[in-house]
Structure 1
């Protein structure tokens, strides 16, 4: 395994105030929350809307599989986005890359809300839906890696866990916003919901984009990247250098990130579909459960970020993976009871366990790669994991046909990816790169 070592000197890199570092992290959080809001909307809509309105010539199971396949297209596009925006971020700056990604995903999401369905324009409807999902995937492929890189590179080394975790809170906030929006429009009569109600959450992406873009435009460039520019030490083709010189670290990054992405979509997207379409549970119960889980996720994220500063993000990832693996089958047994309370407990506990590993992904992945390859390495690791695990709901749904609609196949998938992430965390803890310290004028 090829290893990079930091070229850092002992002297501090720069001086930055605590207020400035906090402002950068909060701006990264706001943008990431919007990105995940936009992205998660599609997952919920794939389970509740797109299978009926955009794939209507297929039988119900085939339509659901087609909707999840379109959902997965966004994940397949994410590594391409990681290469593209990683190039921009490692060559020209973290800031311009993040401004482009937020515009792309906001516009693509808003346009989904304006898209005619199959009954209006026929086959063009699912094709255009897939294209817009592709654009979402490209943008998210560059967003998360840049956001955590920006937040971490403005933070002191000893407090990176909390700043990286702040960016991760964008995920549950995005879930709250998207699930909350769908919970409200689901109050409409079914005919109204199908006619235009489901479009409202997507159309909200336009005003939210303007807010996030304004906040993010105020963010200054990373001091670590500014030093790379001053030293003319940027990589010409960062993604290629990651594959050539840091491939071992990339594999570890993929392994450690797998649970945070794949596990999340197993417990949300797949479980919402499984509960609604297979078990016959009211869809409002399933969506409300994800709302409660998202609130709990925020607190777990903060706690795990602080723990990572004490014992290391790799060890936190390992324990999160082991705990999730142990709970995989019991969680699905609870869901199979069809009890609203049991389902809510299962989804909430499942998300909380997965969040232990997810909360520290930013801290771990940014320290797996040296600064000149960091944006590309982080984005590639996270999004290759995303491309792999984005098809987990599709695979789990297909497994239902093999298992006679039993949940053991889905539980096995969750257990497997949890164990892979646990191993990635254990290895990653021993490969962390140390940057030169950043001195701050006041404590966070």
Structure 2
């Protein structure tokens, strides 16, 4: 039976967990909302002068802009997070992300303001990327540094659930307003979920303003040991950890956007299945991830983070071909099964423990910068390029899925090798 102090500590963790998870949910709602609408609406709205395929590629390129901005956001907000604190930085990232999303809802189409339309959308997408680039590190550290003494993989995984929650919320609202607006969805219906971002900002700010700074960073401030140039220091001292943690993310980052974003294009263009069927599979997978992310993270505390992550790389590698084989049956049940297994099993297996795996490799005074840069460095190379590479491969090979499956296998093998270079720190102290 847990001691009284442990029970109180666990009770005290839930407000922190709620604040960090709600914040990441709002951030990822904004980020995924753009990704969903970019595949469904933006090609015709902002790139009407091009063929459907070219319009889709250009729309996905604006999606890539957000990923290019993420490492920059990781550097900027990583510096602030290690200088002024986790809490203050997280408030700024939330505002930046929410306001950018809100503005997108007002941008007219190409037919109204010409080339300014896609340029404005790309600028707001860049701001979204900056916000997400700084959000992840702060949210994870908020949970990790409060619950660092035991089961920190489990505690740090809760902000990770902002991904399926944000995906579920954005996809669900798109479906709702698509049904309400009907044939007018491409005209005004898609804008309503962007406007709702303003309400989410207010809720998120209220919750985050009530949370205190993490005990580990507060101790640094009291002892006047805060780093003066954390980004410079962490690159000089921990460049190997930054590169290895970034490379370890490829197994999760790229396949996730293939499983959640590109699958919409693949299903509509190559399989000719109902868009709602694919979205239904994504909804089901997102719901199940709310269970599998913390569960797999808890197991990584028990069996070792590095060992668990290596096993996840192998699982992703082995699932690459079965994923497409299930999709290509055209059977509704099997299509949903393939999407659910890809996200709720293969993605969760590595994504849940990933927060602690990365953060454990940096000291408290440099942790926001190191974890953010390591995490976000993979974004443009893996996440942002993944839908474009997959679309290009399918076009080049006339709809053959084999090159895309091989692409997933290469990513998984790459991350497996990188993870071998990391240390096993799941039982080590991170309290400096």
TM-score category of the 2 structures, normalised to the smaller one: over 0.9
Match of 1:8 in 2: none
CA distance in 2, matches of 1:119, 1:431: 55
The CA deviation at 1:75 is: 0.3
Count of residue pairs the alignment pairs up: 423
Q: Which moved more, 1:215-224 or 1:416-425?
A: 416-425
Match of 1:393 in 2: 387
CA distance in 2, matches of 1:424, 1:314: 11
Within the alignment, does 1:55 sit opposite 2:50 as a pair? no
The CA deviation at 1:140 is: 0.3
Out of 232, 236, 239, the residue aligned to residue 231 of structure 2 is: 239
Match of 2:3 in 1: none
CA distance in 2, matches of 1:431, 1:21: 22
Larger RCO, structure (CA 8 Å, separation 6 or more): 1
Q: Deviations over 1:243-270 (max 9, x none)?
A: 2110111112112222232221011111
Contact 1:313 1:425 in 2 (8 A): no
Match of 1:3 in 2: none
Match of 1:407 in 2: 401
Match of 1:4 in 2: none
CA distance in 2, matches of 1:246, 1:156: 21
Match of 1:434 in 2: 429
Match of 2:100 in 1: 108
Structure 1 or 2: more helix by fraction: 2
Q: Which moved more, 1:153-162 or 1:419-428?
A: 419-428
Q: Deviations over 1:6-33 (max 9, x none)?
A: xxxxxxxxx9833322211211000001
Contact 1:79 1:380 in 2 (8 A): yes
Q: Deviations over 1:3-58 (max 9, x none)?
A: xxxxxxxxxxxx98333222112110000011111101111111111111111111
Match of 1:93 in 2: 85
Q: Deviations over 1:285-306 (max 9, x none)?
A: 1111110110111111121111
CA distance in 2, matches of 1:395, 1:271: 13
SS of 2:150's equivalent in the other structure is: helix
Match of 2:355 in 1: 362
CA distance in 1, matches of 2:306, 2:419: 4
Q: Which moved more, 1:391-400 or 1:259-268?
A: 259-268
Contact 1:78 1:383 in 2 (8 A): yes
Contact 1:183 1:288 in 2 (8 A): no
Structure 2 unaligned regions, length at least 5: 1-6
Question: TM-score w.r.t. structure 2 length?
Answer: 0.94
Q: State the 4+ residue runs in structure 1 displaced beyond 6 angstroms.
A: none
The CA deviation at 1:190 is: 4.9
The CA deviation at 1:428 is: 2.4
The CA deviation at 1:189 is: 5.9
Out of 64, 67, 71, the residue aligned to residue 75 of structure 1 is: 67
SS of 1:186's equivalent in the other structure is: helix
Q: Deviations over 1:217-274 (max 9, x none)?
A: 1111011111212222222221222221101111121122222322210111111111
Within the alignment, does 1:376 sit opposite 2:357 as a pair? no
CA distance in 2, matches of 1:62, 1:164: 40
Written as runs of structure 1 = structure 2, the 5 A alignment for 1:95-244 is: 95-188=87-180, 190-244=182-236
Structure 1 unaligned regions, length at least 5: 1-14, 438-444
Contact 1:313 1:429 in 2 (8 A): no
CA distance in 2, matches of 1:236, 1:391: 34
Contact 1:317 1:426 in 2 (8 A): no
Within the alignment, does 1:272 sit opposite 2:253 as a pair? no
SS of 2:417's equivalent in the other structure is: helix
The CA deviation at 1:422 is: 2.8
CA distance in 1, matches of 2:201, 2:308: 33
Question: TM-score w.r.t. structure 1 length?
Answer: 0.92
Out of 334, 337, 342, the residue aligned to residue 329 of structure 2 is: 337
CA distance in 2, matches of 1:186, 1:293: 21
Contact 1:77 1:141 in 2 (8 A): yes
Contact 1:316 1:425 in 2 (8 A): no
Q: Which moved more, 1:358-367 or 1:421-430?
A: 421-430
